[in-house]
Structure 1
Amino acid sequence: MESVRIRRELLEYLLELAREFYPNEFAGFLREKDGVFEEVLIAPNPHFGRSSAFFDTWMLPYDESIKGTVHSHPGPNPWPSEADLHFFSKFGGVHLIIAYPFTENSVRAYLSNGERARLEVVD
């Protein structure tokens, strides 16, 4: 299983975002530096609803450090939906899903093909 590395500070911030947007989903793009996800970028003009999050990827700045995405699921299911898998295949990289109750144990990482990856939290 491939491993994905994320800074603890970023993971805690993402968990807080998921709690703040609840009961709606939230979504963002993950910036990577030296193999570790360190920042989140919220796309311009997003729509965060109860059953989906939408943003226009054409509005993103050109940024080679964006290597993944993150979004929350307001329910306890951390598995990607068909729409998630379709997006994963188009955008590529690594994708995090944060499920309710938005704790470290409810975060799952996936590769662009939908395969699960191990999430490694680093300080």
Structure 2
Amino acid sequence: METVKIRRELLEYLLELAREFYPNEFAGFLREREGIFEEVLIAPAGHFGRNSAFFNTWMLPYDETIKGTVHSHPSPNPWPSQADLEFFSKFGGIHLIIAYPFTEESVRAYKNDGTRLRLEVVD
């Protein structure tokens, strides 16, 4: 299983965002530097609802460090939905899903085709 690396500080921030947006979903874009996810851009002009998060990727600035996405699921289901998989296939890269109860153990990483990846937290 391939591994995705994320800074502990970023993961803790993402978990906090998921808790703050609950019961709605939130979504953002992940910036990677030297093979490690280090920052998140919250989706501009997005809609964050109980069953979905919508944002227009055309609103993103050109940024070669954006290598993935993150969104929360307000249910304990960490698996990508059909809509998630459709988005993954269009955006590419790595995708994190943070499921309720928004703990480190409820975070899953996927490739754009929905294949699960191992998540490694680094300091």
TM-score class, shorter-chain normalisation, is over 0.9
**Equivalent residue, structure 2, for 1:34:** 34
TM-score normalised per structure 1: 0.99
Q: Distance in 2 between matches of 1:26 and 1:78?
A: 14
Counting only pairs closer than 5 Å after superposition, residues 1-123 of structure 1 correspond to structure 2 as 1-123=1-123
Moved over 3 A (4+): none
Gaps of 5+ in 1: none
| Superposed CA offset, 1:10-37 (max 9, x none) | 0000000000000000000000000000
The 2-side partners of 1:79 and 1:59 are apart by 27
Aligned length: 123
Deviation at 1:43, TM superposition (A): 1.9
Q: Deviations over 1:46-90 (max 9, x none)?
A: 100000000000000000000000000000000000000000010
Q: Which runs of 5+ in 2 are unaligned?
A: none
Q: Over aligned residues, Cα RMSD in angstroms?
A: 0.3
Letter aligned with residue 90 of structure 2: K
Identity of aligned residues (%): 84
Normalising by structure 2, we get a TM-score of 0.99
